Amino acid sequence: MENTAREIESALVVGAGAVGAAVADIIAGHHPAAVRLLASGERLERYRREGFILNGVRRDFPLAAPQEGDEADLVIVCVKTYQLDQAIRDMSNCVGPRTLIISLLNGISSEDALAGAFGQEKVPYAMILGIDAVREGNATSFSSGGVIHFGDARNTEGAWSPRVSRIAAFFKRTGLAYVVPPDMIQSLWYKFMINVGINQVSAVVGGTYGLFQTDPQAQAVMEAAMAEVVAVSKVKGTGLEDSDIRAWYKTLRGLRPESKTSMLQDMEAGRKTEVDAFAGTMIRVGEETGTPVPVNSTLYGLLNVLEAKRAAKL
């Protein structure tokens, strides 16, 4: 049974990349004692030594080591999809009876993995949309912190579950913009559609948000990849419609033209990308539903080739 006796006083951020650092910065800007970052080993020492540069200002967030075992009120997971298994191991000592967990990972499967490890009652659905954070080394810059969409699978205004209400109260107190959608499954698939489209195509063509705001050919390829997500969603009943592709442009137009998707940033830095979570997942669910996904199959091959070539050069 969910324990609602205590409000959420602080959050533990797992993953200090662009999204994690930006989220921690927003919280700390309102309540410095309301956020900690989880780190271990060399990373822990580096964070202590170098801190974090957020929009040109150094931040030294309180740090927590996995072995310390301090129970967190709220864990906000911001790692890459391929880092989730390690993150689950690292955060396990920090998850107690009252802990709630939200995942801001890309893709559509992280909640299942977290619920399998810690219990479904601890893990509402969540995603972040509209953040334009760019990370270089320990420096992250952003003009928009985005909006966190979270909740149970279905949510009724004025009758949220206790866990959703607790998280909403913390977000309101610490300055994190949020929305609790009526249909959170549709919201997750909407974000997945965006990632499958612009993240993957931007990584292939090397284009910033500005390219997709203005170039019809870039938009056409992005939309073709997104259309396959919509087709699969219609078969699976997860709520996407053709109109959702056009709706994305409202958010896209509000992003800094010079900013880059997380996948393009990873590609340029020679890091592993999340192609398996995007095109790889599309190939799998396409086979499961009997839905052709030729654009995503092509992107899967191209991205794996580009990733291997870039890694070899760096």
Alpha carbons 243 and 245: distance in angstroms, whole number? 5
Residues 199-215 have a mean pLDDT of: 97
User: What are the C-alpha distances in Å from 182 to residues 22, 150, 152, 252?
Assistant: 26, 10, 9, 23
Q: What is the per-residue pLDDT across 81-120, written as a single tens digit (0 to 9) for each?
A: 999 999 999 999 999 999 999 999 999 999 999 999 999 9
Exposed/middle/buried for residue 277 (C-beta within 10 Å: 0-12, 13-18, 19+): buried
Predicted local confidence at residue 2, as pLDDT = 47
Dig out the tokens for 222 from the structure: 């992005």
Q: Are 84 and 112 in contact (CB under 8 A)?
A: no
Predicted local confidence at residue 136, as pLDDT = 85
The backbone torsions φ and ψ at residue 133, rounded to the nearest 5 degrees and listed phi first, read -70, 140
Beta strands in 110-156 (DSSP E): 125-131, 134-136, 139-141, 145-151
Alpha carbons 290 and 10: distance in angstroms, whole number? 45
Q: What is the per-residue pLDDT across 222-274, written as a single tens digit (0 to 9) for each?
A: 999 999 999 999 999 999 999 999 999 999 998 889 989 999 999 988 889 99
Residues 173-199 have a mean pLDDT of: 97
Q: Are 191 and 109 in contact (CB under 8 A)?
A: no
Other beta carbons less than 10 A from residue 103's beta carbon: 31
Given a cut of 90, is residue 307 above it in pLDDT?
no
Q: What is the per-residue pLDDT across 185-195, written as a single tens digit (0 to 9) for each?
A: 999 999 999 99
Dig out the tokens for 24 from the structure: 């921690």
Mean pLDDT rounded to a whole number for the chain: 94
| Strand-pair partners of 56 | none
Alpha carbons 221 and 198: distance in angstroms, whole number? 9
Q: Mean pLDDT lowest for which of 125-139, 142-156, 185-199?
A: 125-139
Alpha carbons 308 and 267: distance in angstroms, whole number? 10
What CATH code would you report for 11-182?
Answer: 3.40.50.720
Dig out the tokens for 275 from the structure: 């192609």
Given a cut of 90, is residue 67 above it in pLDDT?
no
User: What are the C-alpha distances in Å from 112 to residues 12, 102, 167, 228, 230?
Assistant: 20, 11, 19, 23, 21
Predicted local confidence at residue 5, as pLDDT = 54
Predicted local confidence at residue 30, as pLDDT = 95
Residue type, 309: K
Domain boundaries, the chain: 11-182, 185-313
Predicted local confidence at residue 314, as pLDDT = 61
Quick one: pLDDT band at residue 310, thresholds 50, 70, 90?
Answer: confident
Domain 185-313 classification at class level: mainly alpha
Given a cut of 50, is residue 1 above it in pLDDT?
no
- Upper half-sphere CA count for residue 13 (Cβ side, 13 Å): 24
Predicted local confidence at residue 190, as pLDDT = 96
Q: Starting from the edge strand earliest in sequence, which strands make up the sheet with 35-38, in order? A: 63-64, 35-38, 11-14, 74-77, 100-103
Given a cut of 50, is residue 13 above it in pLDDT?
yes
